[in-house]
Amino acid sequence: MASLKTEIGSIVLDKPGMIASGIMDETGKSLVRVLESGAGAAVTKSIGLEPKPGHDSPCFMEVSGGYVNAMGLPNPGIDLFREEMEIAVPKGKIIGSIYGAGPGDFSELAAKMEDYGACAVELNLSCPHAKGYGMEVGTDPEMVKSIVSAVKSSVSIPVWAKLTPNTHILTRIGQAVQDAGGDAIVAINTLKAMVISPEFARPIMSNKFCGLSGEAVKPVGVRAIYDLRSAVDIPLIGVGGISTWRDAAEYIMAGACAFQVGSAVGTKGMGVFSQINDGLSAFMDEYGYANIKDMVGAAHE
Ligand SMILES: Cc1cc2nc3c(=O)[nH]c(=O)nc-3n(C[C@H](O)[C@H](O)[C@H](O)COP(=O)(O)O)c2cc1C
């Protein structure tokens, strides 16, 4: 029977799926629930230095093909997050997602995540709706290089960089991550978007701009991983619109050695991880793939 075990550099996962940052991953208990539902690891909500309330409502709605959100990175701040990590870390592999305004913030946050027991840190260089953070720092290759270098010298756990699709220089940014010693790239975060109410003649979100996720973004994410595979040698993690084993297989064949699921937890519930695992195993058995490694990048050959 095919093995779903996969390696992201030095990190070995029994299953290739993880929860994506921002979905059911802000408390210790929800992280544990993810780990018990067939995910190989769980990524936390992106955490900053100080508590942040996020944007006012409306900040989330369903649209055709997915969701839009402009949560604005609500989180309790890194010091209070310690207690959630204490609950989750003994139960499995936790990747600490962090956001900051520059190298100093990211280094301080990463060191605390390492201290709390995270097995890797994921740098959110890609949120499209938080002023001064996310894609505002993650679309400048020089800034990306200095953030990744700074974090690399402040922790000994692997450093993953999560990139935005809202740029025409994705591969240059990917190379900047690799040049700075980054251990893996996660792609993609949400696509910058807007929804307008004709009745009110205004954008619906309180923040005006938001990020699109879910099924509609999958082809963009698959293309991003495909492009990155041709530009860098470090491991890639695919995210964006994955809700079935076929979606996961597309990302793996584009070049990802693991994947993350976000919006589909909203539409399908936590059972989505075991459904994907069962479907992937059956496909791999039928098509003669003994393990995930054999499938990684198959679409390039
Ligand atoms: C409600 C919501 C909150 C999110 N919060 C974060 C976050 O805090 N940090 C982050 O890096 N990505 C965040 N994301 C982006 C997801 O992690 C993921 O990259 C994106 O939704 C695409 O995957 P999906 O189509 O499977 O949802 C959020 C997405 C949603 C829908």
- The alpha carbon of 10 and the centre of ligand 1 are apart by a number of angstroms equal to 25
**Residues near ligand 1 (Cβ within 6 A):** 20-23, 45-46, 60, 67, 69, 71, 73, 97, 124, 127, 162, 189-190, 213-214, 217, 239-242, 261-264
Contact 211, 192 (CB under 8 A): yes
Greater confidence (64 vs 127) lies with 64
Please say whether the dihedral angle defined by the alpha carbons of residues 30, 46, 241 and 186, taken in this order, is positive or negative: negative
Q: What rounded mean pLDDT belongs to the chain?
A: 97
Distance set, CA 101 to CA 6, 32, 42, 128, 247 (Å): 32, 29, 24, 14, 33
pLDDT over 90 (residue 221): yes
Q: What's the rounded Cα separation, in Å, for the pair 46 and 178?
A: 22
State the pLDDT at residue 163. 97
Q: What's the rounded Cα separation, in Å, for the pair 110 and 81?
A: 13
- The alpha carbon of 156 and the centre of ligand 1 are apart by a number of angstroms equal to 26
Q: In this prediction, what percent of the chain has a pLDDT beyond 70?
A: 100
Retrieve residue 155's tokens.
């922790």
Q: Which amino acid is at 263?
A: S
Best residue among 23, 188, 276 to mutate for probing ligand 1's pocket (most ligand atoms within 8 Å of CB) is 23
pLDDT in tens, 157-186: 999 999 999 999 999 999 999 999 999 999
State the pLDDT at residue 131. 80
Q: Is 257 a catalytic residue?
A: no
- CA-nearest residue for atom 12, ligand 1, is 21
Tell me which residue of 63, 166, 182 sits closest to 174, measured CA to CA: 182
Retrieve residue 85's tokens.
């990590």
Q: What average pLDDT does range 286-298 have in this prediction?
A: 98
Q: In this prediction, what percent of the chain has a pLDDT beyond 90?
A: 95
Q: What average pLDDT does range 277-286 have in this prediction?
A: 98
Q: What's the rounded Cα separation, in Å, for the pair 214 and 82?
A: 30
pLDDT in tens, 226-241: 999 999 999 999 999 9
- For residue 204, with 0-12 CB atoms within 10 Å meaning exposed, 13-18 middle and 19 or more buried, which class applies? middle
Best residue among 71, 162, 207, 213 to mutate for probing ligand 1's pocket (most ligand atoms within 8 Å of CB) is 213
Give buried/exposed letters for 262-300 (b at 16+ CB in 10 A, else e): bbbbbeeebebbebbbebbbebbeeeebeebeebbbebe
- CA-nearest residue for atom 3, ligand 1, is 22
- The alpha carbon of 261 and the centre of ligand 1 are apart by a number of angstroms equal to 9
- The alpha carbon of 291 and the centre of ligand 1 are apart by a number of angstroms equal to 28
The CATH number that domain 6-296 falls under is 3.20.20.70
Tell me which residue of 95, 260, 109, 247 sits closest to 183, measured CA to CA: 95
Give the list of residues 6+ apart from residue 181 with CB closer than 8 angstroms, or none: 148, 149, 152, 159
State the pLDDT at residue 135. 81
Q: What average pLDDT does range 129-157 have in this prediction?
A: 91
What are the extents of the domains in the chain? 6-296
pLDDT over 90 (residue 111): yes
Contact 246, 214 (CB under 8 A): no
Q: What average pLDDT does range 85-112 have in this prediction?
A: 97
Tell me which residue of 71, 78, 26 sits closest to 53, measured CA to CA: 71
Largest CA distance in the chain: 57
State the pLDDT at residue 137. 84
